[in-house]
Amino acid sequence: MIGENGVRVVRGDTTQSSSRGLDYLAGVSAESVGATGICMHLGRIPPGAVAEPHMHEGHETAIYVLSGRSAVDYGPNLEFRLEAGAGEFVFIGAGVPHRPFNLSDTEPCEFVVARTDPSEAESVVLLSHLR
């Protein structure tokens, strides 16, 4: 629904696939509301799933884990690991190579993700050599 003076409500019922191998419920973005400085989606990592190694060139990422437990390998060669669970925030700086994955083989991990890239995938650089 579009309101007056730049206020909009987006119903999170449209699934959007990403080049990183994860699906999102599309939320706030350049495409959905004409955002110019942010995107925000609801993400889900299925049990046992691993995303493609990637980075967001020039854009920061903030994640809030709603449920489940995940980890992210990060660094120039993905040599570092950080784990996060429900109720925890994760920050990934601009240009940091990373690969998120679900630590559980039975439960999904759900999260809210916000990025300073309004087009969501515009700044994504896949790093397949880090697989």
Domain CATH code at residue 39: 2.60.120.10
Neighbours of 84 (CB within 10 A): 20
Whole-angstrom distance, CA of residue 41 vs CA of residue 24: 6
Residue 3 in any domain: the answer is no
pLDDT, position 131: 79
- Residue numbers of the domain that contains 48: 15-130
Q: State which residues of the chain have pLDDT below 50.
A: 1
The whole model's pTM is what? 0.87
Whole-angstrom distance, CA of residue 18 vs CA of residue 21: 6
Whole-angstrom distance, CA of residue 3 vs CA of residue 126: 37
Residue 5 in any domain: the answer is no
Domain count, the chain: 1
Q: What is the pLDDT of residues 35-66, one digit of tens each?
A: 999 999 999 999 999 999 999 999 999 999 99
pLDDT, position 4: 62
- The helix/strand/coil state of 53 is coil
Residue 73 in any domain: the answer is yes
Residue 103 in any domain: the answer is yes
